[in-house]
Amino acid sequence: MHALTLEKTYRTCGGAELSSKDKVGYDALTLHCFRSKQNYESGSVNMAASCSRGVRSMLRSYESIGKKSCVFRPNTASQLPVRQICLSSCVWMKKGERIKDQKFTQEFINAQTEEYNIGKRHLANMMGEDLETFTQEDVNRCIKYLFPSGLFDKNARPFMKDPEQLFPKQKAVQWDSVGRPFHFLFYTGKQSYYSLMHEVFAKILEVEEYEDKAVLGSRWLQKREFEDVLGESISDFDHSQFIQVMERLLSMTYSSHVEEFIMRYRKAMVVQSKKQDYSTLKFDSQGVAFSTAEGKRKSANCIITLRDCGSGNIVINGSNYISYFTILQDREQLMFPFQFLGMLGRFDIEARVEGGGHSCQAGALRLAISRALVSFISDEEVEKLRQGLSTQPLLPCSAHENSGLLTVDPRIRERKKPGQEGARRKFAWNKR
């Protein structure tokens, strides 16, 4: 009996060669199964439990049998057809990972979209609907009719949606060939969010700048002016409180609705370039246009005559400007207004200056030249000259540091302080 059973088992294994130890194991396993069969035929109650315990014990005792013989791997297995088992992606998910947390390529989404369109067309034909007017609401209604469900969770019910809504797109490559990120906020972890926040803040600054320009031509009433309007005296604190409340009102979105009320307590400001009275353009006996202007800085005063002759000669106190100003920086100060407007070599200058040093005289001449040029340029260029907004390349000097070429330089020498060696310098400290 044992030999017959072993022979059948050997044939079942596909004719694989078995070792002597494997044959002994198969013999014992066959004997145990035969006894279990006899117990079953005799009506034994504990047959199932005994058989299962016996098989488990035999498999543990003969581990080598399970490794070599119990798994049927005949030599002809490569010739037999292989059945491929396709597992869903959810089988490989770890720790409850969901589909919405995964990113899918555009090729995958396009393939799913084609299948969705085919299914949508078949569904429309089944329900007798027109495909051209078959919307997503119609799809949901048909799915609910064809597949009724009593499940409470809506996510567990059958549905049919556009893959663009189900599968999130995979982000494009965000780094170069060497691994350097393209975006400067890449390492924040939320570069799109923080980039949007930066853009919003930039828009806020842009709106604030626009608001400042909108009210640039007016100012709030000063304390005395405000008292005249009210007809009663107020304190500085009350005036500041009023200004704060009005600023809050002005910063609101729809403050233009009460513009008339706001402008009652604001005073229009005259543009500085329009307020100043510049000399008008004149013509001599030969028809040459000229203009005169005055300038000052510290204790230096000057008066010049600017002629539109086109030679570029500059005479100061009867001397050429090159010999009068030996320092290069002073000559650059003198020529800066012409370079600022791109008019080098166009005008002739006759100047008379007195007082101060060479630097003061150069500053006074620059102011006088700028004022005289106003008669030869347009209003837009006058405003640029006043604000110092030049499109020409600047000269290699510090003259452009003072933005307003039409503004008098108010700086003067600082007085000496008592108990000090100079205006700022202290005496050397000696502990004795």
Q: Which two tokens stand for residue 111?
A: 């393939």
DSSP 8-state code for residue 405: T
Strands annotated E in 8-75: none
> How many other CB atoms are found less than 10 A from the CB of residue 342?
12
In degrees, to the nearest 5, what angle opens at C-alpha 317 toward C-alphas 313 and 319?
A: 50
CA distance 242 to 229: 13
CA distance 34 to 29: 9
Q: What is the pLDDT of residue 387?
A: 74
* pLDDT tens string 368-408: 999 999 989 888 788 888 876 544 444 433 433 445 888 88
CA distance 212 to 192: 30
What does the pLDDT average to over 349-375? 93
Residue 249 pLDDT level (bands cut at 50, 70, 90): confident
* pLDDT tens string 154-189: 888 888 888 887 777 655 556 777 878 888 888 887
CA distance 90 to 87: 8
DSSP 8-state code for residue 275: H
What does the pLDDT average to over 107-129? 87
Q: What is the pLDDT of residue 281?
A: 85
Q: Kindly give the residue spans of alpha helices, DSSP state H, lying in 167-268.
A: 191-214, 223-230, 236-251, 259-263
Q: Which two tokens stand for residue 280?
A: 């008008």
SS3 call for 396: coil
Tell me the residue type at 24. Answer: V
Domain boundary assignment for the chain: 106-165, 186-268, 282-387
Backbone phi and psi for residue 122, each to the nearest 5 degrees, phi listed first: -65, -40
Position with higher pLDDT, 154 vs 125: 125
* pLDDT tens string 317-328: 999 999 999 999
Structural fold of domain 282-387:
Ribosomal Protein S5; domain 2 (3.30.230)
* pLDDT tens string 263-321: 888 887 555 544 456 677 889 888 899 999 999 999 999 999 999 987 889 999 999 99
The β-bridge relationship of strands 314-316 and 348-354 is parallel
CA distance 170 to 103: 5
CA distance 307 to 45: 131
CA distance 309 to 346: 7
Residue 94 reports pLDDT greater than 50: no
Percent of the chain with pLDDT over 90: 21
